[in-house]
Amino acid sequence: MAEMIAVTLLAKFAAALSSPAAVGLSSLAGVRSGMEAAAKDLELLLAFLRSVDSLRGSDALADAWVGQVRDVAFDLEDAADEYAFLSRHSFFRHGGNLGAWFALSRRLWRARERLRELSAAKEQLGIRPAEVSAPSSAAGGRSASTVGRTLAEASHFVEEDEIVGFEMHKRLLMKWLTGDADPRRMLIAVCGMGGVGKTTLVTNVYKKVTASGHFDCAAWVAVSKSFTTEDLLRRIAKEFHRDARAGVPWDVDNMDYRSLVEALRGHLSKKRYVLLLDDVWDAHAWYEIRQAFVDDGTESRIIITTRSQDIASLASSNRIVRLEPLSELESWSLFCNTAFRDDADRECPYRLRHWASKIVEGCCGLPLAIVSVANLLVLKDRTEFAWKNVYDNLAWYESSDYGIGQVSSILNLSFDDMPYHLKKLFLYCSIYPEDFMIKRKTLIRTWVAEGLIEEKGNSTMEEVADDYLNQLVQRSLLQVPVQNEFGRAKRCCIHDLIREMIVHRSAKERFFVFSKCTATLGSSKKARHLVFDRCRSDRVSAPKMNSLRSFHVFKADLDASLFSSFRLLTVLNLWFIPIVKLPIVVTDLLNLRYLGIRSTLIDELPEELGQLHNLQTLDAKWSMVQRLPRSIIKLKNLRHLVLYRRRSADFTYPGPGMAIALPDGVKNLTCLQTLKYIEADEKMIRSLGSLKQMRSLELCGVHESNLIHLPSSISKMSCLLRLGIISQDAKVKLDLEPFYPPPIKLQKLTLEGILVRGKLPSWFGSLNNLMQLRLHSSNLMEDSVVLLSSLPRLLHLSLVNAYSGKSLTFANGYFPALKKLSLQDLPNLSHLEFQKGSLVDLHVLMLGRCDQLTKIPQDIRNLVHLETLDLFEMPSEMIHHIRNDEVLQEHNHNSEHTIKIKSIRWHYGKLLEEKIYINLSLLESWPFIDRGSIM
């Protein structure tokens, strides 16, 4: 944590010193020279802070010293941000500001003196990282890697009936290991977060296949984080000879890398072998040893377990098993099997079920946590009092109880394995409430606003942050319940136990304060981040928090007086707040870089908003804002402007959104990358050509008169990735031919309006990077579908009231990459045809309000990868036949191609959803099938 602060500080000092503002006055007060000297001190600070984290937890003296170093780093950060604040403030013209500069000079001097004292104290107290042993874990003082190795070895002795929830995965692994006739050496990966049961699963399967005699020889090795290539090869060699009476025939302990590889290759030649590499953290572990494992067509298999999806991608032919936390029922079954293993029925007594269910719920489906707490309860009295006491004191990251500490050790491994730049980003995720669905773009923009991201090469800070977010997903630290059309995270969340880990770390580091209707926050004056979740303003008393950098408010009342001491705030995020005016004091927060008022009732932004010259993001989507102040054109650092006005104050149903007009002068906002849901007019469209950094543009209310000026502006946006052109007038015709040449990087395109001649422009086939296309009210003919069909990277196609024909045919070779097809509001469509070889990668087909389409086409079975058929307000007879077919219900679970049908419709103001699973192989016998398309 201390290293993270120092690195961020260096960037802040560099930015502050490079600003030409207030150079003369700051030099007069001696501040600039103090800042320059502090920057040099920070270089030294960073040099020894790189070893500070190794001291954490080693002894109380070292912990106290580290805490004081962190406090000085916080003071220096405050000084850097105060410097930036004073440099931008204008009231020095009226006097009174000179004293603030001198006060800042004194603060810098005190911080530097304290830093020198701590450096001397470090030597006097003998605090030397090289002499400090590795931090102990909660599990009886053993290191986390030792705990992990012991747990891995213990998995060999887990009984069959103690394994719950993995039946499908076990069958799949057994098939790949022994039922797959592919003679090549096959690499299989099992991936998932720490504690989810990877080792238990693969060890159980490993024991079965080795006992069956299917393989000539077998080896099971725990790799872990700390390994050397030679040592790993030696352990593998010994494992392959574990059952040999004479042991290893070579002197492996004295062999070098080349000799070990040659010996293993000779031993495994012409043999069918299986190797299990457990807990792989680095792809180099495989790259450096793979030459030892011959591939001579003997159906040999290698299994790896890992937390990293990147490492799992090494698997052959997508042979990957991804483990998720157990369901509620599976969690309960595992708990009872463990806690009551000595009972004949293995049932939880009725008197204990209340507290048992709460304890299991707290484990969040993580098998390691469930087994650990169940083993602890075996040692407790079977009384309500004893079990309630366990529940009340269940702290995964502070407990020394039997088995509980090992949960934190295993989960902490994932955090400790990260580089510092990912650690600080992941800690920031702790500000979000439990079970909160974190919007990807919001998270990325707040990271950038906090100064946690630096540009790399030609990539923007947002692109760098997006890559870092994907790395957190790949490491199984962030979960992705909702993906966007490109297969990336749209919303992400954190497993509750992982969140508990980072909340615990954040609290110890005074990183943030989380408040749920807390009466006072007096003990948190130095916190950097403050979160209010469902708080009432009359129950919250916030102290003066001069060090606060971000303030996040979720569904809570807001007292404007709270902002009076937040002068260094960089992020203000208000969600679902029932206020109608933005507190005017917010416009005095001159360091503010992110202002979010999404889903609030704020209907007006003050003219003083133009004072926020450092603002990078203004997110007012689903607010009530009707117009923007003219001063917004002064915000020359603005990168993201998202506006979409709600029609209703009802938070549950805001109604269709409305675009907002921009004041004249948008051409001044040259840093803009995102401009969404803006009312189009001729003057504004002409000025768009100045916005050459634009990545995402959404224009509403487009007419023929202003559309003619858009191609010229678009042609200057060489970075454009996402474009939306929406007419909102059923009579407007969109002539797109003048847009040639189109933006070559375009990935997402939305067109709403009648296309001239009912055709796509001739250049449309050149959109080789297009991944999502949404056409609305286009009046297309079938030949335009042919033009679309060859787009090589198109993943998602949505036609909404966009096709006027009665029949739509998808021929062989059409849409080779498409994963989702949505056909809605096509009133004339009565016949769909899916020929063999079309839509070969389609996973989701959505049909909505196509009233003439009353039967499922039989050749839907040609969609070999189809998983889901969504029916939205489709004719009732279509779903009625499916629901009442007894043969279908009897056979659907045994089909090799079973798909899920979701029927969705409005019912008295509510959306009702029904799920049915169908067997596509039975389609030919169904009486409710459209047979007109049979080939």
Stretch 769-782: mean pLDDT? 92
Query: Which range among 64-78, 152-166, 484-498 shows the weakest confidence by mean pLDDT?
Result: 152-166
In whole angstroms, give the CA distance from residue 625 to residue 608: 15
Label residue 716 by pLDDT band (50, 70, 90): very high
- 134 pLDDT above the threshold of 50: no
- For the purposes of burial, counting CB atoms within 10 Å of the CB of 432, is it exposed (0-12), middle (13-18) or buried (19 or more)? buried
* Model pLDDT for residues 628-638, shown as the tens digit of each residue: 999 999 999 99
In whole angstroms, give the CA distance from residue 203 to residue 198: 8
Query: Which range among 43-47, 243-247, 291-295, 838-842 shows the weakest confidence by mean pLDDT?
Result: 43-47
pLDDT of residue 249: 78
- 146 pLDDT above the threshold of 80: no
| Top mean-pLDDT range of 20-24, 48-52, 410-414, 437-441 | 437-441
pLDDT of residue 447: 96
Label residue 603 by pLDDT band (50, 70, 90): very high
**Residue 142: φ, ψ to 5°:** -85, 150
Stretch 742-764: mean pLDDT? 93
Query: Which range among 160-164, 296-300, 385-389, 711-715 shows the weakest confidence by mean pLDDT?
Result: 160-164
Q: Which of 815, 753, 757 is nearest to 788 (CA)?
A: 815
Which DSSP helix (H) or strand (E) runs through 86?
A: helix 60-88
Copy the structure tokens of residue 169.
């995965």
- Residue for token digits 């096509």? 826
Global model pTM greater than 0.75: yes
Q: ∠ CA(821), CA(440), CA(846), 5° rounding?
A: 15
Q: Are strands 772-776 and 796-800 parallel, antiparallel or unpaired?
A: parallel
Assess contact for 553 and 515: CB atoms under 8 A: no
Q: ∠ CA(117), CA(121), CA(126), 5° rounding?
A: 160
pLDDT of residue 414: 82
- 489 pLDDT above the threshold of 60: yes
**Residue 551: φ, ψ to 5°:** -135, 115
- For the purposes of burial, counting CB atoms within 10 Å of the CB of 550, is it exposed (0-12), middle (13-18) or buried (19 or more)? buried
Contacts of 880 (CB under 8 A, 6+ apart): none
pLDDT of residue 839: 95
Label residue 755 by pLDDT band (50, 70, 90): very high
pLDDT of residue 128: 65
- 44 pLDDT above the threshold of 70: no
Stretch 777-782: mean pLDDT? 87
**How many CA atoms lie within 13 Å of 168's alpha carbon, on the beta-carbon side?**
7
Label residue 135 by pLDDT band (50, 70, 90): very low
Long-range contacts of 848-851 (CB under 8 A, 24+ apart): 848/822, 848/823, 848/824, 848/872, 848/873, 848/874, 849/824, 849/825, 849/873, 849/874, 850/823, 850/824, 850/825, 850/826, 850/874, 851/827, 851/875
Residue type, 805: G
Stretch 11-21: mean pLDDT? 59
Q: Please state, rounded to an integer, the average pLDDT across all residues of the chain.
A: 83
What percentage of the chain carries pLDDT values higher than 70? Answer: 81
Label residue 243 by pLDDT band (50, 70, 90): confident
For residues 280-306, b (16+ Cβ closer than 10 Å) or e, as one string? bbeeebbebbeebbbeeebbbbbbbbb
pLDDT of residue 158: 58
Copy the structure tokens of residue 884.
């009442």
In whole angstroms, give the CA distance from residue 432 to residue 438: 7
Angle between helices 98-124 and 60-88 (to 10 degrees): 160
* Model pLDDT for residues 870-882, shown as the tens digit of each residue: 999 998 888 777 7
Q: Which stretches does DSSP call E strand in 39-192?
A: 186-191
pLDDT of residue 794: 96
In whole angstroms, give the CA distance from residue 420 to residue 911: 45
Copy the structure tokens of residue 674.
């995102």
In whole angstroms, give the CA distance from residue 789 to residue 773: 12
CA distances from 167 to 37, 155, 173, 322, 605 (A): 63, 17, 10, 13, 57
Label residue 884 by pLDDT band (50, 70, 90): low
- 212 pLDDT above the threshold of 80: yes
Q: Which residues is 217 bridged to in the sheet?
A: 273
Label residue 61 by pLDDT band (50, 70, 90): confident
DSSP state of 274: E
Copy the structure tokens of residue 144.
């986390």
Q: Which has more confidence, 855 or 726?
A: 726
Assess contact for 760 and 787: CB atoms under 8 A: yes
- 894 pLDDT above the threshold of 60: no
pLDDT of residue 541: 55
In whole angstroms, give the CA distance from residue 548 to residue 574: 16
Label residue 82 by pLDDT band (50, 70, 90): confident
Report the chain's terminal Cα–Cα distance, integer Å.
Answer: 65
Copy the structure tokens of residue 269.
């030649």
Stretch 673-693: mean pLDDT? 94
pLDDT of residue 27: 54
pLDDT of residue 190: 96
Stretch 12-35: mean pLDDT? 59
